[in-house]
Amino acid sequence: MKSAITAGGAIFGKLKALGIDYVFANSGTDFPPVIEGLVEARRQGLDLPIPVTVPHEHAAVSMAHGAWQVTGRPQAVLLHTNVGLSNGATGLINAWCDQVPMIVMSGRTPVTEHTRFGARTVPIGWGQEMFDQEALIRETTKWHYELRFPEQISDLLDRAWAIANSTPKGPVYLSLPREVLCEPCPPEGLDRPSRIAPVVTAPEPAAVQRAAEALVGAERPLILSQRGAGSAEGFAALAQLCDDFALPLSHYWSNQIALPIAHPMQVGSDPAPWLAEADVVLVLDALAPWFPDKVTLRDDVTVIQAGPDPLFSRTPVRMFPAAITLSGPVDGTVAALGAAMRALPLDAARVEARRTVVAQASDAARTAVRAQAEAGRGAPMSKEWVALCLGEVVKGRKATVFHELGCPLQPLMLDQPDSYFQEPHSGGLGWGLPAAMGAKLADPERLVFATIGDGSYMFANPTACHQVAEAQGIAVVTLVLNNEEWGAVRQSVEGLYPDGHARATNEVPLTSLRPSPDFALTAAASRAWTKTVTDGADLPAALERAVEAADAGRQALLNIAIARVT
Ligand SMILES: Cc1ncc(C[n+]2csc(CCOP(=O)(O)OP(=O)(O)O)c2C)c(N)n1
Ligand SMILES: [Mg+2]
């Protein structure tokens, strides 16, 4: 890059130099220097990220989220002033909760009323002004700032990128006043990667040693994992660790897998019976590792908490004990723990005895999961049956299943580290479909499914999503698990008031989504391949056809009739 360029375009060049492939954008009157600058940058022959027009901001942020999950490459989002940012704020709550790095920017309405180039030209210039626009996302970003001068672009984005990628990772935000975007930006620094290296933390060696001694000496150890093993290497290392030391692992409310579901040490989604007897519990990147209202641990239990932010310091109330705390990315911690544990003397007989017990329980749990899933094969069918069928279809393929009130984890029987992503524990619905789309866009060879409830599908702004999928050739397969209600809300009412008034009614108020729209028509409006499936017996064939459509490059949607759970 030799000559100055409009600041709005300079940002794109710098983002590419930082390794960003996509800018998910939803534009407005703050964008003229961005759009003009983008074309100027193209004409200068600069290497630029691909700008993707996304007609809803929640979808834009969620696409960046999903793209990062399958590639490990952070992406950027560019929104319109305060109004675009507030529409994207739920996506940021999700990215924050899941520790997903991304650079989010939004315009700032012009601060000048006349004379200066870029000053206010329409009434929204006044209407969108805020005293503190950053307040909208302050709690859900690691760093936030406003661009004051065009020559700051390179250095500020270096800093933003490095902070987003530091342990624990997370989103950052930069607001972009229109007058600054209109100014020429000097070329220095715009074409080089960040001069600032991200911080990667590692657990204290003494703490690793104590944790290793506790785990090797344990009679009844247990691992609870919610957010996977950190990387493919971490996944393999954790499987080896569980194998070598016969360590049972439970996927309690997990939104990624840490161990293949068929692994003999994978004991399912309910840790309660294991927790009650455990003498050492390794909590591996788990925000809410058990249900304190229902679970009583042994008095002499040693709880080890490990993860990028093992005490989840930005969560106000979280009192789970931590006798030993291991701070750092999960893969590094697993490697360090493994090395320390293998250096210690081992009671091999005890490990082998435990292996037999755990493997039997693991096997029995899988058999029960399968039987329950098969029993849900009717018309309408269960979510578990859909999961079982989907698991068969993806076997042997490079595939990822996104879940938002969708296919439950256990019957899917997945075995790859990046094969499953569930909505973050923040639960800002509308994430599943666009996250799956972001993943498919960033890794088109991958077979990608969005398995989502009918409520979640509507939260996703489906018309916007299908429009983007068609425009960008994103051949994602959407499975709408349609029970014609917000089942989770109804079940929550019935859980809190099991003998209550609401439960006694035929239709619990504020939870019904009847009459259900014909979602196949919503997707067909953007020329998706679609089918409605009402009988479980027809599902395997329908899934095969949907996958064929996706393999041929066309988005597909199955609207699947799901039985209400009582
Ligand atoms: C943005 C947002 N609004 C509301 C909620 C509250 N909520 C949690 S689960 C749920 C219902 C989900 O319905 P659906 O996707 O159809 O799944 P189901 O429970 O019926 O299987 C709602 C509304 C939320 N989590 N996020
Ligand atoms: Mg539903």
Q: Give tens-digit pLDDT for 479-507.
A: 999 999 999 999 999 999 999 999 988 88
Whether the bond into 380 is cis, omega within 30 of 0? yes
Pocket lined around ligand 1, Cβ cut-off 6 Å: 90, 405, 427-429, 453-456, 459, 483, 485-489
Nearest CA to ligand 1 atom 5: 429
Place of tokens 């600032």: 196
Burial 99-125 (b: 16+ CB within 10 A, else e): bbbbbbbbbbbbeeeeeeebebeeebb
For residue 266, give the DSSP letter: B
CA distance 328 to 539: 43
381 CA distance to ligand 2 middle (Å) = 13
**Ligand 1 pocket test target in 94, 429, 482 with most atoms within 8 Å of CB:** 429
- Model pLDDT, residue 323: 98
Extract the tokens encoding 503.
């439960």
Ligand closest to Cα of 561 equals 2
Nearest CA to ligand 1 atom 3: 429
486 CA distance to ligand 2 middle (Å) = 4
487 CA distance to ligand 2 middle (Å) = 5
Atom of ligand 1 nearest to the CA of 90: 1
- Which residues keep their CB under 5 angstroms from ion ligand 2? 453-455, 483, 487
Looking at the DSSP bridge assignments, the partners of residue 106 are 79, 175
C-alpha distances in angstroms, 361 versus 98, 269, 354, 482, 534?
Answer: 31, 13, 11, 33, 34
Extract the tokens encoding 443.
């890794």
Nearest CA to ligand 1 atom 23: 486
Task: Tell me, yes or no, if the pTM score tops 0.85.
Answer: yes
Atom of ligand 1 nearest to the CA of 491: 19
94 CA distance to ligand 1 middle (Å) = 14
- Model pLDDT, residue 506: 81
- Model pLDDT, residue 10: 97
C-alpha distances in angstroms, 316 versus 308, 311, 411, 459?
Answer: 17, 10, 34, 27
C-alpha distances in angstroms, 425 versus 85, 93, 428, 474?
Answer: 21, 10, 8, 26
472 CA distance to ligand 2 middle (Å) = 28
For 329-372, write each residue's pLDDT tens digit.
999 999 999 999 999 999 999 999 999 999 999 999 999 999 99
- Model pLDDT, residue 553: 98
Low-confidence stretches of the chain (pLDDT < 50) are none
CA distance 258 to 235: 6
CA distance 105 to 200: 24
Question: Residues 526, 465: contact at Cβ < 8 Å?
Answer: no
484 CA distance to ligand 2 middle (Å) = 5
Extract the tokens encoding 40.
């100027």
Atom of ligand 1 nearest to the CA of 513: 16
Ligand closest to Cα of 565 equals 1
Question: Is 288 exposed, middle or buried, given 0-12, 13-18 or 19+ CB atoms closer than 10 A?
Answer: middle
426 CA distance to ligand 1 middle (Å) = 12
Atom of ligand 1 nearest to the CA of 562: 21
Ligand closest to Cα of 97 equals 1
Contacts of 168 (CB under 8 A, 6+ apart): 99, 307, 308, 309
Biggest CA–CA distance in the chain, Å, is 83
512 CA distance to ligand 1 middle (Å) = 11
Atom of ligand 1 nearest to the CA of 482: 16
Atom of ligand 1 nearest to the CA of 458: 15
457 CA distance to ligand 1 middle (Å) = 10
- Model pLDDT, residue 495: 93
481 CA distance to ligand 2 middle (Å) = 7
Pairing of strands 5-6, 184-185: antiparallel
486 CA distance to ligand 1 middle (Å) = 6
- Model pLDDT, residue 169: 98
**Ligand 1 pocket test target in 483, 486, 519 with most atoms within 8 Å of CB:** 486
C-alpha distances in angstroms, 25 versus 34, 156, 211?
Answer: 11, 20, 45
- Model pLDDT, residue 18: 98
**Ligand 1 pocket test target in 382, 457, 459 with most atoms within 8 Å of CB:** 459
- Single-letter amino acid, residue 258: A
Contacts of 443 (CB under 8 A, 6+ apart): 70, 71
Atom of ligand 1 nearest to the CA of 483: 20
Extract the tokens encoding 557.
């949607």
Ligand closest to Cα of 455 equals 1
- Model pLDDT, residue 481: 98
- Model pLDDT, residue 1: 57
The number of CA neighbours under 13 Å toward the Cβ of 241 is: 29
Nearest CA to ligand 1 atom 7: 489
DSSP SS3 for 177: strand
- Model pLDDT, residue 394: 97
**Ligand 1 pocket test target in 140, 456, 516 with most atoms within 8 Å of CB:** 456
C-alpha distances in angstroms, 143 versus 148, 157, 177?
Answer: 16, 11, 17
Whether the bond into 168 is cis, omega within 30 of 0? yes
Nearest CA to ligand 1 atom 16: 455
454 CA distance to ligand 2 middle (Å) = 5
Burial 417-429 (b: 16+ CB within 10 A, else e): bbbbbbbbbbbbb
Question: Residues 74, 48: contact at Cβ < 8 Å?
Answer: no
